[in-house]
Amino acid sequence: MQTTVSLWPLIGVAVIIVGFVLRFNPMLIVAVAAIATGAAAHFPPEKILAAIGTGFIKTRNIPLIILLPLAVIGLLERHGLRERAQMWIAGIKAATAGRLLIVYLLVRELTAAVGLTGLGGHPQMVRPLIAPMAEGATENRFGKLTDAVRQRLRAFSAATDNVGLFFGEDIFVAFGAIVLMTTFLKEAGVSVEPMHVAVWGIPTAICAFLIHGFRLYLLDRKLERELGGQRKGHGDTPTSPAAHTNAATGDEA
């Protein structure tokens, strides 16, 4: 005897998709999706509220863990962290955006390989430090940057962090994905040690470093072609953010 399966509870997925497309508040979207799913499954209102309350109690410490570092980073940015990073990298004459990101890629992969995944990340490392340093190094060589170039540098900075973390953490033996793979294979009758899976992640991480490092090398070449010719055409010389600051101070004096 076949039973009909109701697909109406899947309406929560549609609510989430529509909510994110319309750029509503994420917390509101999730709450409405939970209520819609529960109502479609014919749950009584008190059971829906109990499920939402239980989930909130289990995860109430997560917002605190996320918001505290963001508050510290925001305070540092307000007191000139991005500007200081740009001025520091501008003092290194050989620095380019590609070379800087290659070094960060190497550091990110090595730290992730030993389990230190929290040392990098978009909010705590890329936005306040890595992206401004890449912009500062490029501006020091070619002068004022267009918005398109700045967005490209920020995208490459974020991509470098993603690549370094994704392929670096696969080498860490206690990484959740390695445990999941070994457990799945063991249930399928294939006995594999977690250490073997981690070791065979090393060639993949090396290839990822070489491929993305080559993309960063091409980024430097492309910036040289685009901005180098523009600089020569206007007869400008590269100036650092520090020089712009000093010039502005002198004009005010």
**pLDDT, tens digit (0-9, with 9 covering 90-100), for 46-104:** 888 888 888 776 665 555 555 666 666 677 667 677 777 777 777 777 889 999 999 99
Total tally of structural domains belonging to the chain: 2
Rounded Cα distance between 120 and 111, Å, is: 9
Q: Which of 43-52, 137-146, 161-170 has the highest mean pLDDT?
A: 161-170
91 & 193 share domain: yes
Buried b (16+ CB within 10 A) or exposed e, 186-211: eeeeeeeebeebbeebeeebeebbee
The mean pLDDT value for 116-128 works out to: 85
Assess contact for 139 and 86: CB atoms under 8 A: yes
Q: Is residue 137 part of a domain?
A: yes
What integer pLDDT is reported at residue 216 of this predicted model? 96
219 & 112 share domain: yes
The mean pLDDT value for 169-178 works out to: 84
The distance of Cα 244 from the centroid of its chain, to the nearest Å, equals 30
What integer pLDDT is reported at residue 223 of this predicted model? 93
Domain range spanning residue 155? 69-247
- Cα dihedral: 76, 166, 94, 229 (round 10): -100
What integer pLDDT is reported at residue 3 of this predicted model? 59
The mean pLDDT value for 14-28 works out to: 87
Q: Is residue 3 part of a domain?
A: no
Residue pLDDT, tens place only, 123-132: 888 988 899 9
What integer pLDDT is reported at residue 245 of this predicted model? 46
Please give the model's pTM, rounded to 2 decimal places: 0.65
Residue pLDDT, tens place only, 176-222: 778 888 888 888 888 888 888 889 899 999 999 999 999 999 999 99
17 & 49 share domain: yes
45 & 94 share domain: no
